[in-house]
């Protein structure tokens, strides 16, 4: 697991940012204070040499000096802290929350973490991710679908490419292809590996209206040949493709269906490695996600207070002004014993289905998930919001990014500054899970 995931605090300044021309807020404030004190000292020393200064006038002179130098400083501070013109502007957010304030409530809100049975984790490290970013960026710039609105942005495209390339499956299955961008990403990761795409509408249908991707080494169950993932005879399909070891299969879900349902269907088929693209945070999204299932009182970083005068309610209300996907307790909490997810409802099928769910059932779902879970790893955001200028997800509800806020030198060296800001606005806690054999 990433070293940074184990810590809830930012690390100290990094050596690769030296010489980037960035001065910390604390350092600049110290310099200003030292200059002011030196100037006051010089003036008082000068006045001490004047014989005509009456001793009783010293307090008055000192008060005048304090007034002259202190009041303008207070005015400047008040202007920076109080005046927020654009709530989604990253500079305004930084001024409002203060230094390192983009994630100042990280520990207060918490980040729920699904607990693997035996404490296993992934093999890759933060260094592997950074190296992968450097390699993936020029690949991403050659993507056939430049404007992938309603599809994956850069963060999840990188995550899918990186994890697929690392796992090296013998065959890849995707449920939900849209215009084919995810198929293209899988192909970049594994140039010669077979892909099976299960999607209601064939990507070639989108070619009539604009860019799309159709893969030559892909078996499509689409259009009139579409069969839902849960209704597929996967034993027969795997046998047809010569796959006998199901632990060598990677399944990618981007179909906006109840993730607990999909996980159970994959388990029944014998698959063990899964990636869920839209692993929505509690209170958001159009389907029930694994992250929502793991958001429990007994889990580190999990659980919620539904009292409107609680600290959490105040923090959520404040952050909702700055982050589009932040939710307050009115949007989060249901009535009585209902689940605290989206007013007590379990969403499914692109939010076309809403079923009331009790807190007791939500708890049982988490116990089942923990009973089969071997690995749970959420993809971090590629970079902090002060670098990407994203305004959608709340960084207080995510693991720390791969390239942390303030590390502009690294952000620029990797070439990420070349990308349009819009490609960073699609992060929804993509997750890789490995489940036990059944």
316-359 pLDDT per residue, tens: 999 999 999 999 999 999 888 888 888 889 999 888 989 999 99
pLDDT at position 130: 97
CATH number at residue 217: 3.40.50.150
Classify residue 123: in a domain, yes or no.
yes
CA distances to 112, 159, 194, 225, 350 from 255, in Å: 23, 17, 20, 17, 8
Tokens (6 digits) for 397: 């509800």
Q: How far apart are CA 137 and CA 382, in angstroms?
A: 11
Classify residue 327: in a domain, yes or no.
no
Q: How far apart are CA 340 and CA 238, in angstroms?
A: 40
Which residues of the chain have a pLDDT value below 70? Answer: 1-108, 438
pLDDT at position 33: 42
Using the structure block, give the residue that is written with the tokens 């400047």: 76
Domain count, the chain: 1
Residue 415, sorted as left (phi over 0), alpha (psi -120 to 50) or beta, turns out to be left
Classify residue 245: in a domain, yes or no.
yes
For residue 172, the surrounding DSSP H or E stretch is strand 171-175
pLDDT at position 65: 52
Tokens (6 digits) for 258: 């109840």
- Coil vs helix vs strand at 215: coil
Query: What is the CA angle 223-253-133, rounded to 5?
Result: 120
Classify residue 38: in a domain, yes or no.
no
Classify residue 25: in a domain, yes or no.
no
Instruction: Please check whether residue 428 is in contact with residue 390, taking contact to mean a CB–CB distance below 8 angstroms.
Output: no
* Full domain range(s) for residue 150: 115-295+358-435
- pTM more than 0.85: no
How far is C-alpha 308 from the chain's CA centre? 26
Classify residue 260: in a domain, yes or no.
yes
Q: How far apart are CA 16 and CA 186, in angstroms?
A: 32
């Amino acid at each position: 697991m990433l070293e940074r995931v184990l810590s809830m605090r930012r690390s100290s300044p990094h050596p690769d940012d030296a010489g980037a021309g960035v001065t910390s807020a604390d350092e600049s404030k110290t310099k200003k204070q030292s200059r002011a004190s030196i100037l006051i000292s010089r003036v008082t020393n000068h006045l001490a040499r004047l014989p005509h200064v009456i001793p009783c006038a010293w307090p008055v002179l000192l008060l005048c000096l304090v007034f002259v130098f202190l009041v303008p400083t207070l005015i400047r501070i008040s202007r920076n802290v109080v005046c927020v013109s654009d709530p989604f502007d990253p500079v305004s957010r930084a001024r409002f929350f203060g230094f390192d304030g983009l994630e100042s409530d990280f520990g207060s809100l918490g980040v729920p973490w699904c607990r693997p049975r035996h404490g296993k984790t992934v093999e890759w490290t933060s260094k592997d991710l950074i190296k992968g970013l450097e390699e993936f960026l020029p690949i991403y710039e050659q993507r056939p679908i430049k404007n992938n609105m309603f599809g994956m942005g850069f963060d999840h495209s990188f995550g899918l490419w990186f994890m697929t390339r690392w796992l090296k499956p013998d065959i890849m299955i995707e449920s939900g292809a849209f215009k084919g961008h995810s198929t293209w990403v899988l192909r970049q990761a594994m140039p010669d590996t077979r892909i099976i795409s299960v999607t209601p509408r064939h990507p070639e249908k989108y070619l009539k209206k604009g860019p799309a991707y159709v893969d030559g080494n892909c078996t499509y169950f689409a259009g009139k040949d579409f069969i839902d993932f849960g209704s597929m005879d996967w034993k027969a399909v795997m046998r047809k493709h010569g796959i006998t070891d199901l632990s060598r299969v990677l399944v990618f879900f981007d179909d906006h269906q109840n993730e607990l349902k999909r996980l159970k269907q994959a388990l029944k088929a014998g698959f063990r490695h899964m990636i869920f693209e839209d692993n929505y945070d509690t209170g958001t999204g159009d389907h029930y996600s694994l992250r929502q299932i793991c958001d429990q009182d007994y889990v580190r970083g999990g659980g919620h207070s539904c009292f409107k005068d609680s600290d959490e309610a105040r923090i959520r209300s404040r952050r909702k002004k700055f982050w589009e996907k932040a939710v307050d307790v009115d949007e989060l909490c249901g009535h009585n014993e209902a689940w605290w997810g989206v007013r007590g409802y379990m969403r499914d099928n692109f939010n076309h289905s809403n079923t009331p769910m009790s807190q007791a059932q939500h708890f049982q779902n988490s116990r089942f998930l923990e009973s089969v879970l071997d690995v749970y790893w959420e993809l971090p955001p590629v970079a902090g919001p002060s670098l990407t200028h994203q305004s959608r997800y709340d960084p207080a509800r995510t693991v720390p990014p791969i390239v942390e806020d303030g590390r502009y030198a690294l952000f620029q060296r990797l070439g990420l500054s070349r990308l349009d800001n819009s490609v960073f606005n699609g992060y929804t806690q993509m997750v890789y899970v490995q489940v036990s054999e059944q």
